[in-house]
């Protein structure tokens, strides 16, 4: 760079000229700083993004943690521009992202006496190795295993493989629950949207007689969503979530666990009927879909009057989802604040 001197000469400062191609000290990096402020705004005020056109708000919330990559790109651009303004502005999205997601990276808390381990897995109706899938899930040593996309041909294999360690199980439609502890009062859960006319049974409710008392366990598989030219198609999923939310609200037992392929993240406002009533995982990202390159977690574990302490993924199976395992603490004194 060159800077003018009072005597009309020039003195060398760097490799370009202030105020020419590199921009002045005050203007350099303004675009990057504006992009940083916008990213911070999307992180903090994602609920303000409207859903009226293409479900843009839900689409953003489905991939909200990935805005961290935008911050990384902006940081690299700020270094290339050598802009202090841009670097300072980046503190906004960094702080916002850390506040929202930083806690998920904390180490798994110490196991407690009143803990249950649960596994949730959409096993896929095209899975060619149900026996291997069942062994992978059982080897994690959970107390409960919830499965979705159970098909008649594979169901006997799951029953036979899981029976030695999980003598109690209930299946309704295409969802099932296996347990180390006795199951009672099992029933079909009607969460079918009105617009679906074909046979459709994807909900189950049962009571687990655990060593720590009775627990109502819900297993659900909400309708799939699609991303197309018109945005996010989630109307059926959202309606099913509302039906499930009403069932959870009416549940008389105090302690409730929800396991399922909910086809949405915990940040997606489409699942607000559930996340407003249930606690979600405090630690762990556990991206579960698609199995080959996981981008998001749509397989969820939630709880009421209990805390989901940590969630993680298990080894890949023959499914297009990864299984997730979570540790739930039933001690009410350890409950986190309810999500908004």
| Segment 72-82, tens digit of pLDDT | 999 999 999 99
Domain-terminating residue out of 41, 69, 104? 104
- Confidence label for 108 from pLDDT (cuts 50, 70 and 90): confident
Domain-terminating residue out of 104, 129, 151? 104
Residue of 218, 220, 259 whose CA lies nearest to 240: 220
Q: Tell me: pLDDT of 13 over 70.
A: no
Q: Please tell me the predicted confidence (pLDDT) of residue 336.
A: 52
Domain co-membership, 57 together with 139: no
Q: Please tell me the predicted confidence (pLDDT) of residue 110.
A: 78
Domain co-membership, 78 together with 133: no
Q: In degrees rounded to 5, what are phi and psi of residue 219?
A: -120, 130
What integer is the mean pLDDT of 268-291? Answer: 96
Q: Tell me: pLDDT of 21 over 50.
A: no
Q: Please tell me the predicted confidence (pLDDT) of residue 333.
A: 54
204 within domain boundaries: yes
* Dihedral, 340, 226, 220, 139 alpha carbons, nearest 10: -100
Q: Please tell me the predicted confidence (pLDDT) of residue 78.
A: 94
Domain co-membership, 27 together with 115: no
36 within domain boundaries: yes
Say which residue the tokens 């798994």 belong to: 108
CATH number at residue 116: 3.60.10.10
What integer is the mean pLDDT of 84-91? Answer: 94
**Structurally, how many domains does the chain consist of?**
2
Q: Tell me: pLDDT of 1 over 50.
A: no
Domain co-membership, 239 together with 113: yes
What integer is the mean pLDDT of 270-289? Answer: 96
54 within domain boundaries: yes
138 within domain boundaries: yes
Domain co-membership, 214 together with 132: yes
Q: From edge to edge, which strands make up the β-sheet containing 115-122?
A: 168-172, 175-179, 144-148, 115-122, 324-329, 307-313
Q: Please tell me the predicted confidence (pLDDT) of residue 244.
A: 98
Query: Which region among 53-62, 128-137, 160-169 has the lowest average model confidence (pLDDT)?
Result: 53-62
Q: Please tell me the predicted confidence (pLDDT) of residue 230.
A: 76
Taking all residues of the chain, what is their mean pLDDT, rounded to a whole number?
A: 90
Domain co-membership, 325 together with 307: yes
Q: Please tell me the predicted confidence (pLDDT) of residue 229.
A: 78
- Confidence label for 209 from pLDDT (cuts 50, 70 and 90): very high
Question: Dihedral sign, CA of 165, 252, 263, 278?
Answer: negative
Q: Tell me: pLDDT of 27 over 70.
A: no
Q: Tell me: pLDDT of 9 over 60.
A: no
What integer is the mean pLDDT of 21-44? Answer: 83
Domain co-membership, 254 together with 136: yes
340 within domain boundaries: no
Domain co-membership, 100 together with 124: no
Q: Tell me: pLDDT of 146 over 50.
A: yes
Q: Tell me: pLDDT of 103 over 70.
A: yes
Domain co-membership, 152 together with 242: yes
pLDDT digits (tens, 9 = 90+) for 228-275: 777 888 999 999 999 999 999 999 999 999 999 999 999 999 999 999
Q: Tell me: pLDDT of 15 over 70.
A: no
What integer is the mean pLDDT of 273-301? Answer: 96
Q: Tell me: pLDDT of 2 over 50.
A: no
What integer is the mean pLDDT of 36-43? Answer: 96
Q: Tell me: pLDDT of 4 over 90.
A: no
Q: Tell me: pLDDT of 334 over 80.
A: no
312 within domain boundaries: yes
Domain-terminating residue out of 41, 71, 104? 104
30 within domain boundaries: yes
Residue of 17, 44, 37, 38 whose CA lies nearest to 28: 17
339 within domain boundaries: no
Q: Tell me: pLDDT of 46 over 80.
A: yes
Domain co-membership, 164 together with 301: yes
Residue 79 domain boundaries: 2-104
Looking at the DSSP assignment, which residues form a beta bridge with residue 300? 260
- Do 144 and 175 form a contact (C-beta atoms < 8 A)? no
Domain co-membership, 76 together with 157: no
Domain co-membership, 89 together with 237: no
């Amino acid at each position: 760079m060159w800077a003018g001197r009072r005597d009309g000469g020039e003195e060398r400062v760097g490799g370009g000229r202030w105020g020419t191609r590199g921009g002045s000290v005050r203007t350099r990096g303004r675009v990057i700083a504006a992009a940083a402020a916008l990213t911070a705004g999307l992180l903090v005020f994602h609920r303000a993004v409207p859903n009226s056109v293409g479900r843009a708000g839900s689409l953003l919330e489905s991939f909200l943690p990935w805005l961290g990559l935008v911050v990384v790109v902006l940081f690299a651009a700020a270094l290339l521009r050598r802009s202090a303004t841009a670097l300072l502005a980046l503190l906004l999205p960094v702080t916002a992202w850390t506040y929202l997601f930083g806690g998920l990276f904390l180490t798994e808390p110490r196991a407690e006496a009143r803990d249950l381990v649960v596994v949730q897995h959409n096993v896929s109706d095209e899975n060619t190795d149900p026996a291997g899938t069942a062994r992978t899930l059982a080897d994690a040593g959970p107390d409960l295993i919830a499965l979705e996309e159970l098909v008649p041909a594979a169901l006997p294999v799951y029953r036979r493989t899981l029976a030695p360690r999980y003598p109690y199980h209930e299946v309704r439609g295409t969802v099932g629950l296996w347990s180390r502890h006795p199951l009672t009062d099992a029933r079909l859960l009607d969460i079918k949207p009105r617009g679906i006319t074909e046979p459709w049974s994807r909900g189950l409710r049962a009571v687990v007689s655990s060593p720590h008392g009775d627990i109502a366990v819900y297993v659900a598989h909400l309708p799939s969503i699609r991303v197309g030219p018109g945005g996010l198609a989630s109307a059926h999923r959202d309606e099913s979530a509302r039906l499930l939310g009403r069932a959870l609200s009416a549940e008389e037992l105090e302690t409730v666990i929800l396991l399922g392929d909910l086809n949405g993240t915990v940040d997606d406002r489409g699942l607000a009927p559930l996340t407003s009533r249930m606690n979600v995982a405090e630690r762990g990202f556990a991206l579960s879909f698609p199995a080959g390159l996981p981008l998001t977690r749509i397989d969820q574990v939630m709880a009421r009057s209990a805390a989901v302490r940590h969630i993680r993924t298990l080894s890949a199976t023959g499914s297009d989802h990864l299984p997730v395992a979570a540790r739930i603490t039933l001690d009410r004194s350890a409950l986190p604040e309810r999500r908004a």
